[in-house]
Amino acid sequence: MASSSERRLVLLKRIGYVPDIIDAPDIKEDIRKNETPDAYVKRIAKEKAESVYQRHKNSYIIAADTVIFSGSKIYGKVDYKDEAFKVLNKLSGKKHRVYGGICVISPNKNISIKRIVTQVSFRKINSKEIQDYINTKEWVGKAGCYAIQGIASKFVKRINGNYDNVVGLSVIDADKMLKGIKA
């Protein structure tokens, strides 16, 4: 598994996959100028998988990436509380899309890549609620500064699509890709 994400590991284990090796990829996750969220998540998932494949060439590699898209802006992970506040404030009372990218590479370098989109609607969140949430630190390391499976679930008014994609990995798609790729 090309990831350091505990959430993705839990999701894979939930459907019966226990990676032999968990190896965090070392890549830059910068968004390119005019890059769409669709292109971004597929590119980053592939770069993560290829990075780890170089160290484990006789293995099946699975990698994923998740970003939030709202308005015309891609939101990944942020490093600071004030950035997290701004992102959550922008998502408050609005719909956004969660883009997930998955890449699977087989030992003979067959590559399968997929993009999944889920729409999420947030209720209006006031400044105190955002600050209280930020103080929990649950947002750290999360695309869009929230974890739908945690405390932030109380902000979610509606979801249209794959819930696991919002958590970090669409298990139905990951399972299909892992079963379908040729060694």
Domain boundaries, the chain: 6-180
Phi, psi of 140, deg, nearest 5: -60, 125
Judge whether residue 47 has pLDDT over 80: yes
Considering the candidates 65, 164, 173, 175, report the single residue annotated as catalytic.
65
Is 100:126 a contact under the CB 8 Å cutoff? no
Ranges of beta strands (E only) in 21-163 are 61-70, 73-75, 95-105, 111-122, 156-160
Specify the fold of 6-180. Answer: Maf protein (3.90.950)
Total residue count of the chain as it appears in this document: 183
Task: With 0.75 as the threshold, say if the pTM is over it.
Answer: yes
pLDDT averaged over every residue in the chain:
96
Q: Are strands 111-122 and 156-160 parallel, antiparallel or unpaired?
A: antiparallel
82 noted as active-site residue: no
pLDDT in tens, 51-82: 999 999 999 999 999 999 999 999 999 999 99
Average pLDDT over residues 17-26: 94
Q: Are strands 73-75 and 61-70 parallel, antiparallel or unpaired?
A: antiparallel
Gap between the Cα atoms of 151 and 170, Å rounded: 20
